[in-house]
Amino acid sequence: MAGIYIHVPFCYSRCSYCDFYKSTSFDLKKNYIDALCQEIERSAFFNQFSKIDTLYFGGGTPSVLSVSDFERILAALTQKMNLSSLQEFTMEMNPDDIRADYVDALMSHGVNRVSMGIQSFEDKHLRLMNRRHSASQAIQAIEILKQAGLQNVSADLIYGLPFMTFNEWQSNVEQMLRLDLQHISAYHLTIEKNTAFYDYLKKGKIQEINEDESVKQFRFLQETLTQHGFVDYEISNFAKPGFYSQHNSSYWKGLPYLGLGPSAHSFYNDCRFWNVADLSKYIHGVTHDEVYQEKEVLSSIDRYNEIIMVGLRTKVGFLLSDLEKYFDGALLEYFHQVVHKQIKKKHLLFEDGRYFIPDDKRFITDGIIAELFYVED
């Protein structure tokens, strides 16, 4: 099983919380598509993994692509693989880009899942986040997707926002449930450097919410969605049975994937690769056959930390046999020492050969992971 991620690095505006790589100028859009098609054409990944199960267009804002842009990229991909064997083909879309004719065209080319950034159903939150759409536009956009016959729709929400009251969060979750979607991703706000929120924070215009409120919002989310038939299969991801994101699940299972486009990451043959996070340098590198990618061969410690971090963010955790398969000696000895303390505190459970975090401790997932990490002196 292998997946492909395509990074579309364009947005009409910058959301206040976002540090993903993107450009708000579209001057290089055509050059980007030319370079992307060349990168696809040349990639050695396809020689090794001819069967691709998942394809994911993320960004940035993939829904800025016109149908003809999209067709050019798909034509380059179909030269390399048979798209009809795909199990899941996801496109991230913003609510204000959703039109019935556009959705029909994407679906006719095989898109069978849409992930939509809604973030909040309160217009004042949307303005604070500098989102381009209103709450009612988001609700209408979901309606258009349903009328088009799309049966696998995911939407994102953000919690832990400055000024967000518990009641507002409650009504966001309840509104999301009324939309009757198959998948919901909910992320706690993290204020990253190089974002408008970071500036607001430095200038004292906003404050981070306190930990008790964060925990209360997470617990409400977890309890409400699970009561309504969603499985909290990953710390930020909730799905109706049968609708787990296959593409993202393959990242969490350590399966190979290829990332294409500026700033995209890949993982295969025990190596991580990442493309330069600069559109001009990416285009120049690809079109002039110069280096635009860095590579890191994962050490045993990197792999150990990755199994712990990625595994424990999922409901099913990780298999002890996976650690034993890859590691012996000092690393395993270290693991058994640190894991024992977490089991004693009931922060971790061990059943059927798997370590996992019990549901009532999932709000401290990051702390538990940090306790198990191996940090070199």
Q: Is 61 in the site for ligand SF4 (CB under 6 A)?
A: yes
SS3 214: helix
Instruction: Say if residues 341 and 373 touch (Cβ distance below 8 Å).
Output: no
Q: Which is nearer to ligand SF4, 20 or 251 (CB)?
A: 20
| Pairwise CA distance, residues 176 & 23, whole Å | 30
Binding piece for ligand SF4, criterion CB under 6 A, among 57-65, 193-201, 319-327, 336-344: 57-65
62 binds ligand SF4 (CB under 6 A): no
Alpha-carbon distance of 83 to 86, in angstroms, equals 6
CB-CB neighbours of 158 under 10 Å: 23
- Which residues, including other chains, have CB under 8 Å from residue 96's CB and lie 6 or more apart? 132, 133, 137, 141
Which tokens belong to 87? 């199990």
Shortest Cβ distance from residue 59 to ligand SF4 (Å)?
5
Of 18 and 286, nearer to ligand SF4 (C-beta) is 18
Give the x-and-dash track for 11-50 against ligand SF4 (CB under 6 A).
Answer: x--xx--x-x-x----------------------------
Shortest separation between residue 264's beta carbon and ligand SF4, angstroms:
14
Q: Does 7 bind ligand SF4 (CB under 6 A)?
A: no
117, 259, 262, 317: which one binds ligand SF4 (CB under 6 A)? 117
Considering beta carbons, is residue 11 or 138 the nearer one to ligand SF4? 11
Q: Which is nearer to ligand SF4, 22 or 29 (CB)?
A: 22
The CA-atom distances, in angstroms, between 190 and each of 98, 201, 214, 276, 308 are 27, 12, 11, 23, 21
- Tokens linked to 131: 């989102």
- 364 DSSP assignment: G
Binding stretches for ligand SF4 (CB under 6 A): 11, 14-15, 18, 20, 22, 59-61, 94, 117
